[in-house]
Amino acid sequence: QALVPAEEAALEYLFQYGYLQKPLEGPHVFSPEDIMEALRAFQQASELPVSGWLDDATRARMRQPRCGLADPFNQKSLK
């Protein structure tokens, strides 16, 4: 609820493209650790500095035109 619109959009992006997975059971609330983990995966896949924080470069990358299919990237697949 405290997210500003830009952060909401980033969260939506991470969710829409497969970096954040909704749990099958329990509340659909992502913990800060989940979000940082997803951001790290996105940054790593995008060849951005990996911080786990929603910085300007990460926001800019998320605004770029792209394919509508989800990405397969998570820490396991990247490894």
Partner 1 sequence: YLLLGRWGKKHLTFRILNLPSTLPSHVARAALLQAFQYWSNVTPLTFQEVKTGWADIRLSFHGRQSLYCSNTFDGPGRVLAHADIPELGSVHFDEDELWTEGTYRGVNLRIIAAHELGHALGLGHSRYTKALMAPVYAGYHPYFKLHPDDVAGIQALYGKKIPETRDEEEMELSTVSPVPTEPSPMPDPCSGELDAMMLGPGGKTYAFKGDYVWTVTNSGRGPLFRISALWEGLPGNLDAAVYSPRTQRIYFFKGDKVWRYINFKMVPGFPRKLNRIAPNLDAAFYWPFNKKVFLLKGLGYWQWDELAPVDFSRYPQPISSLFTGVPPQPSAAVSRHDGRVYFFKGKKYWRLNRQLRVEKGYPRSIAHDWMHCHPQTPDATLSSGVTTGSVMKRTLTTTLSVTDPTLNADTVLGLTPSATD
Of residues 29 and 67, the one with the C-beta less far from partner 1: 67
Site for partner 1 in 58-77 (CB under 8 A): 61, 63-69, 71-73, 77
Opening angle at CA 13, ends 77 and 17, nearest 5: 40
CB of 28 to partner 1, least distance (A): 21
Question: How many Cβ atoms sit within 10 Å of the Cβ of residue 10?
Answer: 21
# residues near partner 1 by CB under 8 A: 17
The CA angle 39-7-19, to the nearest 5 degrees, is 30
Residues 11-50 that bind partner 1 (CB under 8 A): 17, 45-47
